[in-house]
Structure 1
Amino acid sequence: MQRPVPGLWLVSDDRNDDQLAQLLRRLPSGCGLIFRHYHLAPEARRKRFDALRLLAHAHRHVIVLADAPAVARKWRADGVYGAPARIALRRSSERGFLRLATAHSLAQLAAGVRTAADLALLSPVYPTRTHPGAKVLGPVRALLLARQVPLKVAMLGGMTRARARRMGSVEWAAIDGLGRCPSVS
């Protein structure tokens, strides 16, 4: 059975780690968490993932792991996040296991289509603290790119609820854009 693909994603980072539990409780049911936490040692990373997985599932969210698909399955994640070639569907038994592809260009969006990704995260749409000084797509270009592929695309990079609304209530994801705000619903 295929899982529904959330339209709103919280992306974990060392900058928002202290807020993750609160945010998962406040997000509307059915959102997603992309667990990265590259800053942690392997054992601490696994322990933090397990705690957040339980909390995410208690609030009817999905959680995907930024790692190899085999690791994501071993950790009982709901899916995997990464470059299109890394998340490709390898067996029919992986149906229901979400695959989220990173993309920064039309070519990478097309790679997400070829690898049967369930969602591509297109970035950076706006300037972001994650990649200071990086060239941004801008909202118009990002929307034009997303319309070129038969794939669900979430906007990432400097996204906030207000920016998503201005872009037409698109699927979106954020590291900082969901934190320290009065309401995320």
Structure 2
Amino acid sequence: MNLPDLWLVSDERIDAQLPHALARLPRGSGFIFRHYRLPPARRRARFEQLARIARKHGHLVVLSGTPREARRWRAAGAYGAPQRLAGGPTGLRVATVHSLRELAQANRTRADAVLLSPVFPTRSHPGAPHLGLVRFRLMAARSCMPVIALGGMNAYRARSARIRKWAAIQGLAKSPTKSFPIHS
């Protein structure tokens, strides 16, 4: 599967901006639906609403959950900790990775891609440690699958750091920019 270069990751804090952000992303971008704190029925309903918008714009839709849940919800794949993605039906599996240990787990479970984070300081976790570009690149070099940078990412940082695949939460939902860089 050809993975998108640009990914929007959902969060309840920016929920109101998501429909507009999905409409502004370049066709064929990726969308990861999280919304962990919603009660199950409301989470499913919001997923259906946002997935419909994402698909209308040609985006790949991934659900934070197990591969079985992703299949039941008709998502293209599942997102989560590497151990949660092991087994289950086939489909895209995107692992969230913050350490070498988690990266090794993602390699062992043969995830299709990893979101490696946080690359830079983030507004969502002020003062929390981040990888920085050097550690990000060293860890990415150990990945057996494509790496998507997450954490403090925006179009400027992706372009200046020459990071091809990147994801953002607030950096894409609130950005006034109408076009985002897609590297070739």
Matches within 5 A, 1:1-185: 3-91=1-89, 94=90, 97-183=91-177, 184-185=179-180
1:6 CA displacement: 1.2
1:127 CA displacement: 1.0
Gapped runs of 5+ residues in structure 2? none
Letter in 1 for 2:4: P
SS state at 2:46 partner: helix
Looking at structure 1, the residues matched to 95 and 163 of structure 2 have their Cα atoms a distance apart, in angstroms, of: 20
1:129 CA displacement: 2.5
1:104 CA displacement: 0.9
Gapped runs of 5+ residues in structure 1? none
Q: 8 Å contact 1:125–1:137 — kept in the other structure?
A: yes
Letter in 1 for 2:11: D
SS state at 2:12 partner: coil
Looking at structure 1, the residues matched to 142 and 169 of structure 2 have their Cα atoms a distance apart, in angstroms, of: 26
Higher alpha-carbon deviation: 25-34 or 125-134: 125-134
- TM-score (norm. length: structure 2): 0.91
The 4+ residue runs of structure 1 with deviation greater than 4 A are none
Looking at structure 1, the residues matched to 86 and 161 of structure 2 have their Cα atoms a distance apart, in angstroms, of: 29
Looking at structure 1, the residues matched to 26 and 74 of structure 2 have their Cα atoms a distance apart, in angstroms, of: 22
Looking at structure 1, the residues matched to 163 and 116 of structure 2 have their Cα atoms a distance apart, in angstroms, of: 15
What is the percentage of aligned positions where both structures have the same residue?
Answer: 52
Looking at structure 2, the residues matched to 146 and 23 of structure 1 have their Cα atoms a distance apart, in angstroms, of: 27
Letter in 2 for 1:102: T
